[in-house]
Amino acid sequence: MSNILKELRKEIDIVDRELVSVLARRFKITHKVGVYKAQFDVPSFDKKRESEILENKKLLAKKYNINPLLVEKIFKLVMAETRKNHRYEKNGNSK
C-alpha cells in the first residue's frame, strides 16, 4: 500500500472519530430535550419540526455537494434513535 493511501486513510479515520464525537454530543443534547419533554408531557414526535430539519439538512448537503438523499437518510436514522430515547426517558427507563 502506498504512503499516500495510508495517509489518506489516516485522515478518514480522524474524520470518522470526529463524526462519532459530534454524534455523541448531539445525543447528549437531545437527552436533555427528552428529559424536558418527559417532565412537561411534550410529545416526542414533532412532525413539522422534523420536516423542517430534513429540508434544511438537504439544502445544506447541496451547498456542500453531498447527496441530499444520503443526508436525509442519515438524519432520519438519528431522529428515529432520538425519538426512541425520548420514549425510554418518558417511561422512566434508561437505555
CA gap 27, 82 in Å, rounded: 7
With respect to residue 21, please indicate whether it lies within any of the assigned structural domains: yes
Above 80 in pLDDT, residue 57?
yes
Residue 57 lies in a domain: yes
Domain containing 61: what range? 3-90
- Percent above pLDDT 70 for the chain: 97
Q: Where are the beta strands (DSSP E) in the chain?
A: none
- Any domain includes 34: yes
Is 18 a member of any domain?
yes
Q: Domain for residue 48, yes or no?
A: yes
Instruction: Report whether pLDDT(86) > 80.
Output: yes
Decide if pLDDT at 1 tops 90. no
95 found inside a domain: no
Domain containing residue 7: CATH number: 1.20.59.10
> What global pTM score does this model have?
0.85
Rounded to an integer, what distance in angstroms lies between the CA atom of residue 19 and that of residue 59?
Answer: 20
In total, how many domains does the chain have?
1
Is 72 inside any structural domain? Answer: yes
**Any domain includes 15:** yes
